[in-house]
DNA sequence: GTGTGGTAAGTGGTCCTACCACTTTTATCA
DNA sequence: TGATAAAAGTGGTAGGACCACTTACCACAC
């Protein structure tokens, strides 16, 4: 008995978004370049203009396009988050991780240094317990770093950090990449907590800096390997 | 001669988004709660269903709503960035700015310290020129900080910083707030460039730190004033 | 030349109506 | 009572019509 084949529903709205993104990438459009008019797109894709508008509006709200009343629609920015969302290319994923390491470094150096100034013994204790619970899996994991950020009670800061973590995990899993050594990570994390415990901003900053620079080297090595493999 | 007053246009699409967000806030909806149907909203707001759909689609693409075919529309998440983006409440805007100052501090301290290590004399010169061109308007302005971030050639980092700037300006303009003294800002900016020029990471970090702490105090004062005014 | 105003074409903004696809609720009947 | 069918409600799509705005071009007056 052959199982019934699953019916794939086509959501016009999403299909249009993909088509437009593909169009942008295929034609290698630069920032400021113009996108075909709504009527043209509707005609070319054999869909209604309303559906085209919904798709373009969504792309506008996520910052990709700029729609000018009476003046046409233009490519505003190729937000790397959105761009990466539509590519599965290995190299580009690695590049994303490389970029993310720097962003992590920026945010985490600051949060660690500042947290060292106000963190309480009770909070230190909970961090130790959090780290102890972490199984030594192959999963990329920055729960400790996020936990520290949570101490600030700053929603915007927390969300930004979580967004970075999300992209980070996404890049790792999509690459099917061997994660950074869990053992070394654990050691680094312990050093970070010790740095916080010391109450010394400089020491805390150094501990997280060491960790992130290790990650940076790890990614750089993967890129280098990819480069030679291609030649 | 009295200058002509600018005409304010009403964009239905945006007005609907605001209305829906206000509805969510006013009724204190929890995650998973249902939003009125498209037809109901169109009727209540006296607009077409198509316009309502565009607005809802935009909110869906930014993660606020979840639209289920045939099943209704529901509140999915209220990230503070999105939440703040659609609030016109004075206090909440100030809170956003307060949160943003910390985020700025985190990113900019790092970018300044790192940039000091690799910045070239030519780049220093262009920063001076950029700052010279800045008119001493009442506009909040962080072009200098963004320009420095651009030097890293890191798209993710740049986007994040630009997003912060966007929220920052939005908060300021929506408050109709007297901007931080342009004169002092200019002085601070000059100090920042000098810090970069010195090539000393510590000095650069100190310069931007001073600037952001001033902003922090400025916001805090506004909040304190608001607090007493309400009592 | 120069710039002023008019004109027409193209484009996004909004509305309307009708119908399809899916889900939830209600009513019905065995 | 429980399963099934009908109905109502909701989002998805289509197509047409008209309004609002931008742009490019052109003729005219200076």
The torsion angles phi and psi of B141, rounded to 5 degrees, stand at -155, 125
Q: Report the alpha-carbon angle A100-A214-A174, nearest 5.
A: 45
**Shortest-distance nucleotide from B69 CA to C1':** D11
Q: What is the pLDDT confidence band of residue B77, given thresholds at 50, 70 and 90?
A: confident
The predicted pLDDT at position B42 comes to 94
Residue among B139, B167, B55, B70 at smallest CA distance from A61: B55
The predicted pLDDT at position B231 comes to 45
Q: What is the pLDDT confidence band of residue A4, given thresholds at 50, 70 and 90?
A: very low
Residue among B176, B170, B171, B119 at smallest CA distance from B149: B119
Q: What is the pLDDT confidence band of residue A229, given thresholds at 50, 70 and 90?
A: low
Q: How many CB atoms lie within 10 A of CB B159?
A: 20
Q: Report the alpha-carbon angle A230-A166-A200, nearest 5.
A: 105
DSSP state of B135: -
Coil, strand, or helix at residue B214?
A: helix
The predicted pLDDT at position A177 comes to 63
Determine contact, residues A44/A36, Cβ cutoff 8 Å. Answer: yes
More confident residue, B225 or B211: B211
Count the alpha carbons within 13 Å of A227 in the hemisphere toward its beta carbon.
8
pLDDT-wise least confident of A11-15, A73-77, B11-15, B174-178: B174-178
Instruction: Give yes or no for CB of A69 within 7 Å of strand D.
Output: yes
The predicted pLDDT at position B3 comes to 65
Nearest neighbour of B154 by CB, restricted to A102, A109, A152: A102
The sheet carrying B34-35 orders its strands as B34-35, B72-75, B65-68
pLDDT above 50 for A231: no
Taking contacts as CB-CB distances below 8 angstroms, the residues of chain A near B18 are none
Q: What is the pLDDT confidence band of residue A3, given thresholds at 50, 70 and 90?
A: very low
Across chain B, mean pLDDT equals 86
**3-state SS of B168-197?**
HHHHHHHHCCCCCCHHHHHHHHHHHHHHHH
Residue B119 Cα distances to B111, B161, B194, angstroms: 11, 19, 12
β-bridge mates for residue A68, sequence order? A72
Q: What is the spatial distance between Cα A217 and Cα A59, in angstroms, rounded to a whole number?
A: 35
Q: What is the spatial distance between Cα B128 and Cα A40, in angstroms, rounded to a whole number?
A: 46
Taking contacts as CB-CB distances below 8 angstroms, the residues of chain A near B100 are 156
Residue B102: closest CA among chain A residues belongs to which residue? A157
The predicted pLDDT at position A140 comes to 60
Q: What is the pLDDT confidence band of residue A176, given thresholds at 50, 70 and 90?
A: low
Highest mean pLDDT among A130-139, B5-14, B85-94, B182-191: B182-191
**3-state SS of A106-164?**
HHHHHHHHHHHHHCCHHHHHHHHHHHHHCCCCCCCCCHHHHHHHHCCCCHHHHHHHHHH
Instruction: Give yes or no for CB of A12 within 7 Å of strand C.
Output: no
Share of chain B above pLDDT 70, in %: 89
Residue B177 Cα distances to A12, B97, B139, angstroms: 44, 12, 10
More confident residue, B48 or A138: B48
Q: Using one digit for the tens of pLDDT, what is the confidence trace for B138-155? A: 566 668 899 999 999 998
Which residue of A49, A85, A103 to mutate against B (max B Cβ within 10 Å)?
A103
With 0-12 / 13-18 / 19 or more C-beta atoms within 10 angstroms meaning exposed / middle / buried, residue B223 is middle
Instruction: Give yes or no for CB of B9 within 7 Å of strand D.
Output: yes
B61 CA – C10 C1', rounded, Å: 29
The predicted pLDDT at position A179 comes to 62
Q: Using one digit for the tens of pLDDT, what is the confidence trace for A95-127? A: 888 999 999 999 999 999 999 999 999 999 999
Q: What is the spatial distance between Cα B64 and Cα B62, in angstroms, rounded to a whole number?
A: 6
Q: Using one digit for the tens of pLDDT, what is the confidence trace for A39-87? A: 999 999 999 999 999 999 999 988 889 999 999 999 987 777 667 666 6
The predicted pLDDT at position A82 comes to 67
Q: Report the alpha-carbon angle A56-A58-A60, nearest 5.
A: 70
The predicted pLDDT at position A118 comes to 94
Taking contacts as CB-CB distances below 8 angstroms, the residues of chain B near A60 are 58
Shortest Cα–Cα distance, B114 to chain A (Å):
9
The predicted pLDDT at position B139 comes to 60
Across chain A, mean pLDDT equals 84
The torsion angles phi and psi of A46, rounded to 5 degrees, stand at 60, 45
Taking contacts as CB-CB distances below 8 angstroms, the residues of chain A near B157 are 99, 102-103, 106
A62 and B62 within 8 Å at the Cβ level: the answer is: yes
User: Residue A35 is inside which H or E element, if any?
Assistant: strand A34-35
pLDDT above 70 for B221: yes
The predicted pLDDT at position A134 comes to 67
The dihedral sign for the CA sequence A22, A26, A28, A33? negative
């Amino acid at each position: 008995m052959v199982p019934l084949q699953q019916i794939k529903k086509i959501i016009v709205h999403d299909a249009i978004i993909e088509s437009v993104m593909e169009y942008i990438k295929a034609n290698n459009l630069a920032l400021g370049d113009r996108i075909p008019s709504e009527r043209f797109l509707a005609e070319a894709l054999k869909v209604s203009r309303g559906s085209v508008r919904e798709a373009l509006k969504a792309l506008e709200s996520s910052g990709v396009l700029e729609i000018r009343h009476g003046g046409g629609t233009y490519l505003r920015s190729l937000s790397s988050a959105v761009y990466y969302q539509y590519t599965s290319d290995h190299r580009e994923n690695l590049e994303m991780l490389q970029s993310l390491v720097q962003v992590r470094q920026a945010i985490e150096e600051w949060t660690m240094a500042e947290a060292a100034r106000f963190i309480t013994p009770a909070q230190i204790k909970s961090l130790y317990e959090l780290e102890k619970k972490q199984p030594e899996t192959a999963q990329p994991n920055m729960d400790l770093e996020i936990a520290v950020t949570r101490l600030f009670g700053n929603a915007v800061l927390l969300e930004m950090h979580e967004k970075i973590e999300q992209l980070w995990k996404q890049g790792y899993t999509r690459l099917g990449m061997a994660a950074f050594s869990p053992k070394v990570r654990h050691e680094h994390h312990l050093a970070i907590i010790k740095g916080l415990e010391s109450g010394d901003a400089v020491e805390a900053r150094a501990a997280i800096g060491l960790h992130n620079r290790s990650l940076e080297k790890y990614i750089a090595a993967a890129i280098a390997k990819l480069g030679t493999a291609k030649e």
